[in-house]
């Protein structure tokens, strides 16, 4: 099966197609706006894996002091242009040390780019940089989404945020996690678009994660048969978002 590489133009194009087809982004933003409301303007925040600055700009609506950490050089350039008020830096969530503790952190759909074995440490590393009473908002697709069904069908493990957080809580008693699920769907308008977005979702898993990676023909046939309705000329699948709020106890 042909795969997109993270830094390629076709990956960026497929990501744009995903955003056009995904109806849950505004729900995610509304959830975060409500969650950020208790903090004062003078609180400090960080967007881990800030990408093009979509959620960094949301943080800047609430806070004057916002850090944006993004390892991809090309995305950092666009991020700095879109969010001139943010303190932009390179590095990854597992290696970056902020110059100050923050009250709020975002880790939005970033864990796909890390091996599952590193999720716990990435979350704990970000949470350790919270001030007492601070909160880290972690989001990922729910484990029973249509795209996770597709991964499992082709022999790759599902993404499971709850399992990662269970490990973090057991080894970090200063952290408390709570979950909320937001409904969302992928809705496509052509078979080509359905294949494009499905390919993007499969590429969230490294090639080595598949017991037997599908051939191009197998992949296309599966998408056509399970995620596309030829009679209705529409496609898609469920793609709910799971939010985990990781709070650092105020007495730690």
Strands 228-229 and 234-238: antiparallel
Q: Which residue has the tokens 């496609």?
A: 235
What mean pLDDT, rounded, does the chain reach? 93
* CATH code for position 14: 3.40.50.150
Q: Is residue 227 part of a domain?
A: yes
Pick the more confident residue, 62 or 52: 62
Q: Which residues contact 107 (CB under 8 A, 6 or more apart)?
A: 48, 49, 93, 122, 123, 126, 136, 137, 138, 139
Number of domains in the chain: 1
pLDDT at residue 65 in the model: 97
Evaluated on CA atoms 205, 207, 211, 212, the torsion sign reads: positive
C-alpha to C-alpha distances, 204 to 24, 25, 124, 191, 210, nearest whole angstrom? 18, 18, 22, 20, 11
Q: Hey, is 53 helix, strand or coil?
A: coil
Q: Is residue 4 part of a domain?
A: no
pLDDT digits (tens, 9 = 90+) for 103-113: 999 999 999 98
Q: pLDDT confidence of 72, banded at 50, 70, 90?
A: confident
Domain region containing 220? 9-248
Q: Which residues contact 98 (CB under 8 A, 6 or more apart)?
A: 46, 67, 69, 129
pLDDT digits (tens, 9 = 90+) for 118-143: 999 999 999 999 999 999 999 999 99
Q: Is residue 107 part of a domain?
A: yes
Q: First vs last Cα of the chain: how many Å apart?
A: 49
Q: Is residue 146 part of a domain?
A: yes
- Alpha carbon of residue 206 to chain centroid: 16
Pairwise CA distance, residues 49 & 248, whole Å: 21
Q: Is residue 137 part of a domain?
A: yes
- Cβ atoms of 86 and 56 within 8 Å: the answer is yes
Q: Is residue 132 part of a domain?
A: yes
Taking residue 19's Cβ as centre, other Cβ atoms within 10 Å add up to: 11
- Cβ atoms of 154 and 209 within 8 Å: the answer is no
């Amino acid at each position: 099966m042909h795969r997109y590489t993270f830094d390629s133009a076709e990956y960026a194009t497929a990501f744009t197609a995903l955003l056009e087809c995904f109806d849950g982004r505004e729900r995610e933003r509304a959830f975060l706006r409500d969650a950020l409301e208790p903090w004062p303007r003078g609180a400090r925040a960080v967007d881990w894996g800030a990408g093009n600055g979509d959620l960094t700009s949301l943080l800047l609506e609430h806070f004057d002091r916002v850090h944006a950490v993004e390892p991809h050089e090309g995305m950092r350039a666009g991020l700095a242009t879109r969010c001139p008020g943010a303190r932009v830096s390179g590095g990854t969530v597992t290696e970056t040390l902020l110059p100050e503790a923050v009250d709020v952190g975002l880790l939005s759909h970033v864990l796909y780019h890390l091996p599952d074995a590193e999720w716990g440490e990435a979350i704990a590393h970000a949470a350790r940089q919270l001030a007492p009473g601070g909160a880290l908002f972690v989001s990922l697709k729910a484990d029973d989404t249509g795209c996770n069904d597709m991964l499992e069908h082709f022999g790759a493990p599902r993404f499971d945020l709850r399992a990662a957080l269970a490990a973090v809580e057991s080894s970090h008693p200063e952290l408390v996690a709570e979950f909320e699920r937001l409904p969302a769907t992928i809705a496509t308008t052509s078979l080509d678009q359905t294949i494009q977005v499905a390919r993007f979702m499969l590429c969230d898993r490294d090639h080595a994660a598949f017991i037997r990676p599908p051939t191009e023909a197998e992949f296309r046939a599966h998408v056509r048969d399970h995620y596309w309705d030829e009679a209705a000329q529409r496609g898609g699948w469920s793609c709910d978002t799971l939010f985990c709020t990781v709070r650092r106890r105020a007495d730690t």
